[in-house]
Structure 1
Amino acid sequence: MNGHPRQDGDKETVPADLVIFSAGINATSLRQLRLSAIGPSLTAVLPINFHSLSMLEDLLVPFLKSSKNLREIMIICPEKLILQTQGALHNTVSSTVDHPDISLHALLGGSDFQSGIVEAISRVATDWILLMDHEGLLQQSDSTVNDLLHPPTTPVPFGPRGVIISPFNISCILSVDGPEKASYLLPPFLVPTFFTANGLSYTGSDIWISLGRRIADSSSDGTGGIVINTYGHNVGWCPTSFTTNTTLGLQNPVAWGSSILVDRLHDPCLVRKPSANFGVFFVFLPTVRDLQLLSPLLCLLQSTGHSVHMFVYDDYDELRNTVGWETHTYIFGECLLTYTIISGHITVSPNSQAHTTVLDWLSTSDVRPDIVIGPSHEVIFDKVVTFYHETLRNATIVRIPKEDFPHCVWMGSLSKIEWQAWEVPRIEISIITKDRPRSLLRLLQSISNGRYFGDAVNLRINLEQSADTKTLKLVEGFSWPHGVVFVHHRVIHGGLLAAVVESWYPMSNDTYGLLLEDDVELSPLFYAWAKMSLLRYRYGNPGNRSSRLFGISLYQQKNVELPLEGRQAFNARLLFTKTGFLHPTTPYLSPVPCSWGAVYFPEHWREFHAYLSFRLSEHSMKFNQDIVPGVRSNRWTKSWKKYFIEMVYLRGYVMLYPNYENFLSLSTNHLEVGSHVKVRTREKRDLFVLPLMQLPISISLPVPSLLDLPYRTLPAWNALPVLNLTGSLTTLNVLTSAGALRRRELTGCVNEPIQYDVWDLMCIGSRSP
């Protein structure tokens, strides 16, 4: 328990006019409740972490404008950020003459933000409290901001984000037609202070549910708040990751349901009114068993707002004499999947009759799909796609091998625009090897065990001139069913630097290189992580795309190797927890290039080729000149990473890193003896070898998953934490400024360099056509 628990005998005083919940309220009447004079007083509570501290000026803008209602802004931040926050506040408000009082509250010791909020609101003396998360009001419309800063005379808790709990599901509310009742609200929202006057107790890690219960207990119809003004909003806030085996039920069955048990495998967060931002899916499956195997994906698609139409075409119901179709329902936890299935007795040419029935069903549909999903190498599905091209011609066709059905749930996190780019990116695997056949065999086996979800993946094996006979025979006998295999055997020794840099070159800007040395081993889900990340940050919403991102690491950092004082242990989750991040489980950005399993982007890899040629030619600076100040990589005379780090530093580039629990990784390094490892001790190996994420044994058994992420999806680009080369938190702007300053020191140039042009970067003149 946190805060001030209420005793069983305590009774709260709640105004009688709270029955407005049952009387109903609309947007017009809500605005009519505003006072024409000063009106109810308001305190805004704003948590600040390291990431949001960099946006403090933007966060405070709505509150520094003239508002007679707003009396105080309470800022809550970790103790370690107090001095930085004070400085940022001084710079922000020093030029503002008339602004509300601003108080700063430190989270002491191991206190979390929710306990800090409970402590802060216990001191509030105004009529209303505006409760926010680290985003403040940045994501809200002007209309919503105005409503939240001008409380009504009647004590109605309200905000743009809410959840409703029923006996059958938990739904995120999207208020389009007008205000809607919620079981509880999520920040930002307004709440009358009397609801928190006697202290607020909460269990687990969610005070919003506890506050919703308190409000629901006090209202006449079990309502925990009103949702307003969410039309057109991004629903990424929807809390799709509920605690396993958490009972959310209250006695009121309308508002809270009856002891709903939420299973994290089937996402219960159903967005009730999907907008044009969500896709229409047609899913064609041979059997009900296939639908069951794919049900985690189908349920997640439904729960995040997509429209899913399912047809099972090879399980015939022979109780009827005429061939047709009928509707059935499959229940997966709290998820209900409604599908169409062929019914009737098929005796002649089953494949032909089945595909004709599917086409008849399609012809009756007035819905046109955005994405069509079906099994790979299935005659009936192929015929449907071929013969009904008019309906499906603008749809993205996704063919998935049936053996991959149980491992597709990660696809449910993709947006419509990301699904529509499904066939665009092409990942090519490039292996670098010489004389470690046992290590190479382990790598090849892990690649063969990977799930590729129907994608064609070409493989290139790069053999050094001195490759031994066992290695050559192993490569000659390797079979690869997912694409073309190309073997490159050097005739002159090149060394590791040349072997890596020359191992791959992109054919187009939609071609990506996964570079693997032979002592690496991969998780079966490595390809899913890479493709999920590519679709989000290269092909998704334009706000999630950035030329600063140069690649995707499969490996988690357990150490940072670049500090001058030597290698240091590193734990991203611990760092983000200590610095007050709302979601310490988030992936993050780092300028450190990974050499133990990583996907590199085409534009940046071409630029690196040009940069390395420039550096090795000593065109305008000595080969041994230090480009990056204060890092150990300056001593790495034979490492390609030394030069990649130089280019990254000058440009302000970053790589995406995973951040799963207990360093669960998509690749690991076995630290075999070779060019850079002379002695392989157990202690040294334990510093680098990581556990690999495995496939679930059954869809009903929860295991660590790719979707163990904030809100079960990859974060927005601007929500990703950023580290510097030595593992400290920073921002992209700081990285870019540091690189620009160093470039000026090295070259004297102050102009903005042309993107991906090394010669212009080094101030020699552009060689671009």
Structure 2
Amino acid sequence: MPVPQRRFHGDEELGKKDDDHKPGVKGPMGRAWQQRRLPNGPRRSNLKRIALGFLVVIGFYYFFKNMPTDLEQPRQRPSYVPPSGPNAPASKAVPNRYDFVTKTAEDETPDAPLHNFNGPIKFYQLASTLHGVKTRGSDLVNQNVLFAAASLKSAANLLPIACDTAIRARNYVHFALMGRDDISMDILRSVNGIGNDCNIVFHDARPDFSVQSSDWRMEVSSAAAFKHINDFVNPQATFVDSSGDEETWFSKGLKQRAGSLGRTVIELPENAEQNLMWITLLDSSSLSAWNKVSINIIIHAQPSASGSLIRLLESLKKADFFASSYPPLTIELPHDVDEPSKRYLERFKWPPKGDQSGSLLTLRHRIPQHSLNADESSARFLEGFWPNNPSSSHVLVLSPQVELSPLFYHYLKYTMLEYKYASNNPSAQNLLSLSLDLPSTYLNDTASFTPPSANSTVGGNVITTGTSQFLWQAPNSNAALFFGDKWVELHDFVAESLESQRTLPTPTTLNEKLVSKTYPSWMEHVLRLARARGYWTIYPSFETEDRLATLHNDLYQPPEEYSEEVNAEIDQSDELTADPDHYLSLKHSETSLIKTSILTMLPNKGDLPKVWDMPLLSWDGEQIVVDDFHRQAVNYSNVFRREIGGCGTDDMEKVRVDLLAGDLFCLKDQKT
């Protein structure tokens, strides 16, 4: 073998060292080296070439396998190029390939993009509008309300309602789009007819890569977008579409985040634009209480009056509760329940629709077989309800003789939110109840009652402007919503009054019974409390003869505690169980029930009047001004404290405590 020429001629050591490091041909190691260098053995460089060639073959295989051809539709693969349009990010961003989720072949279609991107979420269009909010969004309590949608169909359902709400100018209206559709906000406004007069603040709350995003990413995006909007806007209420057109992932994400933040979400049903437009007349404070208030219904059934009870329950089943939850229903049954009532209640279900879990029906059956006296009946009836939260839990009292309009709950919730929860409404502290019934007589049931007309002063002259809701100190037992705080105070008032009757002599001035025996006995206690405190009830008034509630006297039964006294006056030739010549209310003819939109029936196109603009009546029906009304309440409470409360002339006036009536009584102080 020829000796290779040394690379470094001037250095003998370098050449020598190189020879020393080469494997020799002598000795055992030399023989081993020769065996490894046999001509038939594979060289190391050949192994590298084989491996590299194998990898090249594999690469070409996968390349040609996934390359589109004219003979076969290519398998759709995720695109790494950001989408164009208003929702595209400002700078090009390539999603991580490990963020894609594999889909089955049947989920893939040539015309629809894969919803499989689960990368980090960015809102490139949202910051500019949020930072530009000028509606006091930093205040926790403000006038901001939000309409939010993901589906374009839902957006079309919400935008007319949002526009009408903004035009009313009681709230600042915001609209947020959180869906996948790559449509510009200008086009969205244009196709839905939203002009500048609507004055809606629009927010593009769609994430980057919304078209390719998975349902899970869009759900998280909806929750995150709402969190950002809440930080800058603090919406008092958020409207969403519940007609069935909305995306499931959107509803789930937004509702969960709103619940964790303590924000109100109002779900609008399919026919909201026809029957629920009164919601646009409420302010943000009222809308915030939408889901926080609860109403319980209580019915005191009478013996041998199955027809009346069944008619009332059937009208409740036909009522429209829109997107609100059904109220719990309690029926107080007498000891002797007639057979038709038993059979009907066996089949009766509440709520009537199966879209809510569990039953909200409670039946209470009285044990004593004897007839109750007035005090026992009052106590038993009031014990039928107790609010868990006096500021938000209320009770609707219904007489079995009543039949309700299918839209009664619309009016009830509308007026309750407006007069009890609206901002800057100090008169709410004097509000005892809301009546659905417009009475035909005064409380003594011997004189016909004519509702007052609304008056306005023009140029110093008083002009009658037509029908209007009005305030009356007289309570109602046929169909009335009593507020929870007043119901708690009534409990304490009745307890103190019953104790006073047991220990004190009969009052000389206040002993007269003012409420007819055609009404239940607890009405007398409510009237006394209303006169002592200066409370009033709001009564409805409509442009037509249609009503929210009508009374049926064909099956009339007097209150059980007064049945013997009333029946003693029965004219045996009359079909009624009471003499209509003696009780004028029994002559009242039945009225038709409201079945069209509430806004078309109320005066002033449904815009409710302010409390201070309503006519005010004292308990006996005399129209009075507010100052005289409160002056009468002070005078009555002073007499009440002496004759019924047991307070002497030297007793100091006690401090009034909320929800209690102890300042009207002095019996406990005398015992101690």
Give the TM-score normalised by structure 1: 0.54
TM superposition shift of 1:694: 2.0
1:307 is aligned, of 164, 172, 176, to: 172
Q: Which residue of 1 aligns with 2:189?
A: 328
2: CA distance between counterparts of 1:637 and 1:384? 51
Deviation at 1:727, TM superposition (A): 1.6
Please state how far the C-alpha of 1:553 moved relative to its aligned partner: 1.0
Contact 2:143/2:284 (8 A) holds in 1 = yes
Q: Show CA shifts across 1:401-444 (max 9, x none).
A: 44556422111121122222223221111122134333222222
Partner of 1:428: 296
Structure 1 pair 287–725 and aligned structure 2 pair: CA distance change class (3 A): same
User: Which structure 1 residue ranges, 5 or more long, are not aligned?
Assistant: 1-272, 697-702
Match of 1:18 in 2: none
SS in 1 for 2:312: helix
**Other-structure match for 2:22:** none
Alpha carbons 1:539, 1:545 under 8 Å: kept: no
Kept after mapping to 2: 8 A contact 1:556/1:664: no
Residue matched to 1:440 = 309
- Tell me, what secondary structure is at the counterpart of 2:266? strand
The answer to whether 1:689 aligns with 2:569 is: no
- Matched residue type, 2:163: C
Contact 1:590 1:725 in 2 (8 A): yes
Establish whether residue 573 from structure 1 lines up as the match of residue 453 from structure 2.
Answer: yes
Residue pairs, 1:156-175, within 5 angstroms? none
Can you list the C-alpha shifts for 1:458-485, whole angstroms capped at 9, x where unaligned? 2212111112122123223222236622
Cα distance change of structure 1 residues 362 and 502 upon mapping to structure 2, 3 Å threshold: closer
CA distance 1:744–1:704, shift in 2 (3 Å): closer
The 3-state SS of whatever aligns with 1:331 is coil
CA contact (8 A) 1:583 1:710 kept: no
In 2, Cα distance between the equivalents of 1:275 and 1:287? 29
- Distance change >3 Å, CA 596–CA 281, structure 1 → 2: same
Which has the larger helix fraction? 2
- Quick check: 1:673 aligned with 2:556? yes
2:656 counterpart residue number: 754
Cα offsets for 1:513-563 (capped at 9, x unmatched): 111122212223322323233323332224334432211111123332338
Identity %: 19
Residue pairs, 1:181-260, within 5 angstroms: none
Which residue matches 1:374? 240
Deviation of 1:718 after TM superposition, in Å, equals 3.0
Q: Quick one: structure 1 residues 446 and 348, their matched pair in 2 at CA, closer, same or farther if it must change by over 3 Å?
A: farther
Q: CA deviation at 1:489?
A: 1.3
The structure-2 alpha-carbon separation of the partners of 1:360 and 1:633, relative to structure 1 and needing over 3 Å to count, comes to closer
Q: Which residue of 2 aligns with 1:407?
A: 275
CA, structure 1 residues 614+308, in 2 after alignment: closer, same or farther (shift >3 Å)? closer
Q: CA deviation at 1:666?
A: 2.5
Q: 1:558·1:688 contact (CA, 8 Å) conserved in 2? A: no
Distance 1:405-1:443 versus aligned 2 partners, 3 A rule: farther
2:365 to 468, 489, 492: 489
Give the Å deviation of 1:313: 6.8
**8 Å CA contact retained: 2:489, 2:660:** yes
**Post-superposition offset of 1:386:** 5.4
How far is 1:654 from its partner? Answer: 1.0
For residues 264-318 of structure 1, give each alpha carbon's deviation from its aligned partner in whole angstroms, at most 9, with x where no partner exists: xxxxxxxxx977786333323465555555566323311123333445678x86x
Distance 2:309 2:199 in 1: 44
RMSD: 4.5
Letter of the structure 1 residue corresponding to residue 661 of structure 2:
V
Are 2:403 and 1:504 equivalent residues in the alignment? Answer: no
- Residue in structure 2 matched with residue 465 of structure 1 by the alignment: 335
Partner of 1:727: 621
Q: Which residue of 2 aligns with 1:450?
A: 320
Q: Counterpart of 1:428 in structure 2: which amino acid?
A: N
- The alignment status of 1:525 with 2:407, answered yes or no, reads yes
Q: Deviations along 1:685-717, whole A, 9 cap, x unmatched?
A: 562633332244xxxxxx7547x3558533333
Greater mean deviation of Cα atoms: 723-732 or 333-342: 333-342
Q: Is the 8 A contact 2:258 2:265 kept in 1?
A: no
Partner residue in 1 for 2:147: 283
Between Structure 1 and Structure 2, which shows a larger proportion of strand residues?
Answer: 1
Show the counterpart of 1:480: 350
The 1-side partners of 2:195 and 2:338 are apart by 55
Q: Distance in 2 between matches of 1:586 and 1:638?
A: 28
**1: CA distance between counterparts of 2:655 and 2:630?**
12
- Is the CA contact (8 Å cut-off) linking 1:537 and 1:546 kept in structure 2? yes
> Offset of 1:328 from its aligned partner?
3.4
Measure the CA separation in 1 of the matches of 2:155 and 2:579: 48
Provide the C-alpha distance between the structure 2 equivalents of 1:645 and 1:389, rounded to a whole number of angstroms: 42
Write the mapping of 1:558-597 to structure 2, written as runs, cut at 5 A.
Answer: 558-562=440-444, 566-573=446-453, 580=462, 584-597=466-479
Letter in 2 for 1:728: E
Question: Are the structure 2 counterparts of residues 656 and 406 from structure 1 closer, same or farther at C-alpha, using a change threshold of 3 Å?
Answer: same
Distance 1:585 1:724 in 2: 19
1:646 Cα deviation (Å)? Answer: 2.0
| CA-to-aligned-CA distance 1:342-387 (integer Å, 9 cap, x gap) | 9999998985576477568769979535021124586233333157
Paired with 1:336 and 1:323, the residues of 2 have a C-alpha distance of 18
CA distance in 1, matches of 2:438, 2:332: 25
Which of 591, 602, 609 is the matching residue for 1:715? 609
Q: Equivalent residue for 2:521? A: 639
Per-residue displacement from partner, 1:164-216 (whole Å, max 9, x unpaired)?
xxxxxxxxxxxxxxxxxxxxxxxxxxxxxxxxxxxxxxxxxxxxxxxxxxxxx
| Bigger Rg over Cα | 2
TM-score (norm 2): 0.60
Q: CA deviation at 1:761?
A: 0.6
**Partner of residue 491 from structure 2, selected from 589, 592, 609:** 609
Deviation of 1:728 after TM superposition, in Å, equals 1.8
Unaligned runs of 5+ in 2: 1-133, 560-575, 643-647
Q: Secondary structure at the match of 2:233?
A: coil
Residue 734 of structure 1 deviates from its aligned partner by: 2.4
- Alpha-carbon separation, structure 1, partners of 2:495 and 2:256: 53
Q: CA deviation at 1:655?
A: 1.1
Structure 2 residue 639 is matched with structure 1 residue 763 = no
State the alpha-carbon separation in 2 of the partners of residues 413 and 353 from structure 1.
Answer: 36
**Greater relative contact order (Cα 8 A, min sep 6): structure 1 or 2?**
2
Question: Which amino acid is the alignment partner of residue 730 of structure 1?
Answer: I
CA distance in 2, matches of 1:743, 1:275: 44
For structure 1, which segment, 510-519 or 487-496, has the greater mean C-alpha deviation from structure 2 after superposition? 487-496
Report deviation, 1:453: 2.8
- Does the C-alpha gap of structure 1 residues 601 and 359 become closer, same or farther in structure 2, counting only changes over 3 Å? closer
Cα distance in 1 between the residues matched to 2:174 and 2:588: 49
Count of matched residue positions in the alignment of Structure 1 and Structure 2: 482
Maintained 8 Å contact 2:599/2:606: no
Amino acid at match of 1:417: S
Q: Any conservation in 2 of the 1:426–1:457 contact (CA below 8 Å)?
A: yes
Per the TM alignment, residue 585 of structure 1 is displaced from its structure 2 partner at its CA by 4.0
Give CA deviations for 1:79-107 in whole Å, capped at 9, x if unaligned: xxxxxxxxxxxxxxxxxxxxxxxxxxxxx
Q: Is the 8 A contact 1:673 1:680 kept in 2?
A: no
